Amino acid sequence: MSTSQTRNQTGSQFSDKFTHHTLGFHESETLSGSSSPINSPPISGLLNDQEKVPIADILDQTDRGTSPKKEKAYPISLAYLEILQSYSKFQRHLSGSCAVKQSTNIDTSIGGERKPSTQYDRAKTLLMLCDFESSPVGNPVQRLVFHFADALWEKVERETGMKSLKPECIEGEADVDEVFKGYHPAVLATYKAVPFAKLLQFTASQVIISALASATKIHLIDLEARTGMHWSMVMQSLSERSKYPVELLKITMVGDSGERMEETDMREELFELDREESVPVFGPLVLRALLVKPHCLEKMIRIIRNLCLDIMVLTEVEGKHNSPSFVNRFIEALFYYSAYFDSLDAFIEAADSNRLAMEGTFMASAMRNMVVREGRERVIRNVGLDTWRLFLNREGFEEVEVSEDALYQAKLIVESYSHSDSVSLEMNGKAMTVGWKGTPLHSISAWRCF
């Protein structure tokens, strides 16, 4: 652990000091901490796609070893319809009854149990058609099909053990965590051009500020160590407060020191909390990273609960990409990335190298991991708000409505961008979702202990 203390320089209202902690952990151990007083069922029953438990119905998944439930009808997103309708030539191959037949053939041929070689041959023929009409630098639907076809080629190769007709598409996967940490230049450029990341951070900050309106001693815990610059808005807002002037602000960041957080030794005593401190916790795209190791997620969330926090603000991917069913996972990912690719097309020039890197390296790696990998190799997993609600309720948290100030702040940010009418800000219960043309992409939710 490294600890540094500096005096606040953002306003005279901080009469004491600003303290910044970074908790660094080692990969050799697992999450540990005191047990929660609430006797909750294991998280593996909620989020691990290997368990045969009734809760799988909430995940819209089919348990392995049980009879498949009736498949739900997938709504076609507005973004997906628009990009298809804009390109009539490509639409002739992918729309109408032909699209239904081709999609069904690819899904049933590649997913699930091993199929006869004739079905794989049919899938290869359809993928060759996709290759012919797609491009990594074309319009949104061509780019989307190009990267998904690459993933499906690798899926065929893994299932059959035969070299595909497109071996150049099989590449090593990039570190997708770079996308969410935002360290790569292409990621930083994309975050600046596209409003989603800014919306998530500023709205989350406003939720925290509103929840701490009367707090004078604040210990903010950030579950993702980054540069810390994203907290400048909170520091400035607190420093300008005339009523309830802030005496102390500490920010503790949970850093992995190069190792992954799910393998760290996280303990309550490392946070060095004081009874007089108000404790907000911010988890930016953190819980999703632990879905592959649900026991670590369960331990981490119980440690957080034992901190007696005032509020916990979470931002997550609003998607259902954790199904053991290849077909379900593929369709959900297709709809999700169709909206994302369409948004990138609106905000970033086609020839921009940062967009090409974002799509061709990071997003393509995420797609390939969702589609190709199985078991512990499939680390890109997302579940929706309803699943997080069930899990957090069982762990002793209740949801708090996103404040009106936060919603107002979000609307101001959206209006500062072009294509603001295509950015979707919607309430999902007490949480807020951020999306593109009606397709939810991210969520912001707030929680407190029972």
Burial class (CB in 10 A: 0-12, 13-18, 19+), 274: exposed
Tokens, residue 380: 């890109």
Burial class (CB in 10 A: 0-12, 13-18, 19+), 79: buried
Q: 68: which DSSP letter?
A: P
Residue 311's DSSP bridge partners are 280
Amino acid at 432: M
The length of the chain in residues reads 450
Residue that the structure tokens 């499906």 belong to: 152
Beta carbons within 8 Å of 376's beta carbon, 6+ residues apart: 292
- CA dihedral in degrees (124, 130, 136, 139; nearest 10)? -170
Q: What CA–CA distances, in Å, run from 382 to 40, 55, 245, 323, 378?
A: 22, 16, 40, 9, 11
Predicted confidence at residue 273, as pLDDT, reads 84
Predicted confidence at residue 272, as pLDDT, reads 81
Write the CATH number of the domain with boundaries 2-41+194-319+382-449: 3.40.50.150
Q: 57: which DSSP letter?
A: G
Predicted confidence at residue 134, as pLDDT, reads 92
pLDDT one-digit tens code per residue, 251-270: 988 866 434 444 456 677 77
Burial class (CB in 10 A: 0-12, 13-18, 19+), 117: exposed
CA torsion sign for 429, 434, 438, 439 is negative
Report helix, strand or coil for 388: helix
Predicted confidence at residue 54, as pLDDT, reads 35
Q: How far apart are CA 363 and CA 176, in angstroms?
A: 8
**What are the phi and psi torsion angles at 304 (to 5°)?**
-60, -40
CB 271 within 8 A of CB 253: no
Count of alpha carbons within 13 Å of 301, Cβ hemisphere only? 31
Report helix, strand or coil for 426: strand
CB 131 within 8 A of CB 137: no
Q: What CA–CA distances, in Å, run from 255 to 14, 28, 130, 259, 264?
A: 26, 15, 42, 9, 10
In order, the DSSP letters of 210-247 are HHTTT-SEEEEEESS-S-SGGGHHHHHHHHT-SSS--S
Predicted confidence at residue 347, as pLDDT, reads 97
Q: Where in the chain is the domain with CATH 3.40.50.150?
A: 2-41+194-319+382-449
CB 90 within 8 A of CB 96: no
Given phi > 0 = left and psi -120 to 50 = alpha, else beta, which region is 278?
Answer: beta
Predicted confidence at residue 229, as pLDDT, reads 77
Q: How far apart are CA 413 and CA 11, in angstroms?
A: 25
Q: Which residues of the chain have pLDDT under 50?
A: 1-17, 24-41, 45, 48-76, 80, 83-84, 86-105, 108, 112-113, 167, 169-171, 257-263
Predicted confidence at residue 122, as pLDDT, reads 85
R_g of the chain, CA atoms, integer Å: 23
